[in-house]
Structure 1
Amino acid sequence: MTLETDLLLDRRRLKRRLVFWRVLSVLIVVAAVLAGLRSAGLEPGEAHIARVSVTGLITEDRKLTEAINDLATDTSVRAVIVSIDSPGGSVAGGESLHDAIARVAKAKPLVAVMRGTAASAGYMVAVPADRIFAREATLTGSIGVLLETPEFSGLLDKLGIGTERVRSGPLKDEPSLIRPLSPEGKQVLQGLVNDMYDQFVGMVAAGRHMDADKVRSLADGRPYTGRQALSLGLVDAIGGEREARAWLASAKGISTDLPVEDVSTEGFARSALSGALAPMFQEIWKTLVSQSVSLDGAWAVWQRSGH
């Protein structure tokens, strides 16, 4: 054989080895994923309890809202735990989560578990729950709406900076950063706040089965501890997720043996790598890399062009 023929045959053998190792690596990863899901009790389609975490500042979150909506029709979800640790956020963001949670609560058992803080919009998302649990020291309540804006006209005057305005209507620039709020502007903004406040009160009254006037007497913006909120009827019991699961078992017949799966808006691969399956994937990676000296194709399986 000529040298070129030998090189061609070697290249073909190398390609076959590359294909073999690519296929083997994919099979290893798939097997690892399935094994991880089984060990975590999270096989696709297996009955479980879904945990929705609402943390930090609440804003409009389309992905989370859609993920919550999907729980209502997911036959593998037997119940839902909404875990809250939030000081609140935008009214619209709280409303979207509230409405999604309310839809799920109509379809299957749903409990809310308040952690350190579940105030304002953080309380709003809890009220559709069948039962609300809070720690004695949880800060909750703070039912109300706030709208504020800074105003720098005094500073601009001191600096000798003037401003001009051209507007289509007398209220178009209300509120403004560069001039005080006019009486008419303040009246309009107060009307907006009052309307959103009435919506908030209505959500609490409906979710807690309370008279709207009773809610208004509690909704002056102040926060309550979990223990205070319990005495006022804003929460149902003192406790955390353990107590919530016990209640689901006794009141709704939801087995305490069911695994709990966190609802995620991330892709599966990212969630798996950042969760319980991370050590498993790391071991697979180490195994493949350790063979790269003697098995040319193993390293090439994971190599990315441009890296």
Structure 2
Amino acid sequence: MNELAIADRRSLRRKLSFWRWAAAAILVGVGLVLYAFSGWSEVTGRARQHVARVAVSGLIQDDQELVERLERIADNDSVKALIVKISSPGGTTYGGEVIYKAIRKVAAKKPVVSDVRTLAASAGYMIALAGDHIVAGETSITGSIGVIFQYPQVKALMDKLGVSLESIKSRPLKAEPSPFHPPSDEARAMIQAMIDDSYGWFVDLVAERRKIARPDALALADGRIFTGRQALKDRLVDTLGGDEEIRAFLASRNVPKSLPVVDWEAPRGNLPFGLGGVVSEWIKALGYDAFPAMKGLEKIGGEKLFLDGLVSVWQVE
């Protein structure tokens, strides 16, 4: 190959590299424009009068972002009412408490409806109690009023392995309960007292919010679950239905049916609309997928969920 051919090939490579980077830059620019336009549309949608809707789904934890979102809804004069759409088996008791209190702060300023979808059990039902009105489907599942504390017990396994754990403690109840030995009577009493205290608070909440005598609320709070039809009979919900019944209640609170419902969703992360995955695929197509900085874009937002502390959750045993 002569020197002229080598020079031509090098020039072609430089041009190809330039256009690859130009295409990547254009793609990112288009993504940023779409993001800005989307964000602007969301802001303008929230600027006009509307009914806000938030979703509470999956396992409930201490969700600071949701609490802050509810605070913004409470302070936004353009929001005339709030719909809380719930589809959750429950979660941590504290997580339910925090969200419940945040919704009650909204309810102090504007009407709130709890929309029970497939499932609003335990801490999910606790959150539903924050609404001024609870709407459920006929076959929705709700209830499971109670508190549970679980921990593993691995002493039998350790005995089989010939392993033991020794500990020296300042007081007998320190670090109890332990998975490495059965709890003492004192430790069991401590745990039960803690559960009973949180359970009593939950029952009081049901009695207060549903206008049910405490003995009746206590009878309903035996951990059982209810269909929407059963819950209506026992006064745990107000109405069976869906969007039509929700808007009818809001209309009774002087919220016009003509107002649009705007979903106040959690931020999607740094790259919206799955743009991380799209950019990743384009990067591969352009031949730059080997760069470390370009790897893993499609994994943005993935997190594992762990539950700690007292739990108010419905689970099949």
User: What band does the TM-score fall into relative to the shorter chain?
Assistant: 0.7 to 0.9
Match of 1:254 in 2: 255
Match of 1:107 in 2: 109
Give the Cα–Cα distance (whole angstroms) in 2 for the partners of residues 135 and 84 of structure 1: 12
Q: Does structure 2 conserve the Cα–Cα contact (< 8 Å) formed by 1:117 and 1:139?
A: yes
Match of 1:295 in 2: none
Q: Does structure 1 conserve the Cα–Cα contact (< 8 Å) formed by 2:84 and 2:114?
A: yes
Name which of 67, 89, 92 aligns with 1:90: 92
Give the Cα–Cα distance (whole angstroms) in 1 for the partners of residues 58 and 34 of structure 2: 34
Name which of 166, 169, 186 aligns with 2:168: 166
Evaluate the alpha carbon distance shift between residue 59 and residue 35 of structure 1 in structure 2; reply closer, same or farther with a 3 A threshold: closer
What is the SS of the residue equivalent to 2:232?
helix
User: Could you list the per-position Cα deviations for residues 15-44 of structure 1 after superposition, in whole angstroms to 9, with x for gaps in the alignment?
Assistant: xxx9xxx9xx79x9489827983xx89534
Name which of 131, 142, 148 aligns with 1:146: 148
How far residue 267 of structure 1 moved from its aligned partner, in angstroms, is 6.1
Structure 1 residues 172-251: aligned runs within 5 Å: 172-249=174-251, 251=252
Give the partner amino acid of 1:33.
F
Give the Cα–Cα distance (whole angstroms) in 2 for the partners of residues 215 and 34 of structure 1: 46
Give the partner amino acid of 1:87.
P
User: Could you list the per-position Cα deviations for residues 146-170 of structure 1 after superposition, in whole angstroms to 9, with x for gaps in the alignment?
Assistant: 0111111112112221221121210
Match of 2:312 in 1: none
Structure 1 residues 13-162: aligned runs within 5 Å: 29=33, 33=37, 37=41, 42-162=44-164
Give the Cα–Cα distance (whole angstroms) in 2 for the partners of residues 222 and 77 of structure 1: 36
How far residue 62 of structure 1 moved from its aligned partner, in angstroms, is 0.6
How far residue 258 of structure 1 moved from its aligned partner, in angstroms, is 1.4
Q: TM-score of the superposition, structure 1-length normalised?
A: 0.75
Evaluate the alpha carbon distance shift between residue 247 and residue 270 of structure 1 in structure 2; reply closer, same or farther with a 3 A threshold: farther
Report percent identity of matched pairs.
41
Q: Quote the RMSD (CA, aligned, Å).
A: 3.1
How far residue 241 of structure 1 moved from its aligned partner, in angstroms, is 2.5
Q: Does structure 2 conserve the Cα–Cα contact (< 8 Å) formed by 1:49 and 1:261?
A: yes
How far residue 268 of structure 1 moved from its aligned partner, in angstroms, is 8.8
User: Could you list the per-position Cα deviations for residues 196-250 of structure 1 after superposition, in whole angstroms to 9, with x for gaps in the alignment?
Assistant: 001111221221122222211100111111100000000001012232112212x
What is the SS of the residue equivalent to 1:79?
strand
How far residue 140 of structure 1 moved from its aligned partner, in angstroms, is 0.3
Q: Does structure 2 conserve the Cα–Cα contact (< 8 Å) formed by 1:50 and 1:80?
A: yes
Give the partner amino acid of 2:57.
T
What is the SS of the residue equivalent to 1:193?
helix
Q: Does structure 1 conserve the Cα–Cα contact (< 8 Å) formed by 2:112 and 2:131?
A: yes
How many positions carry a matched residue from both structures? 257
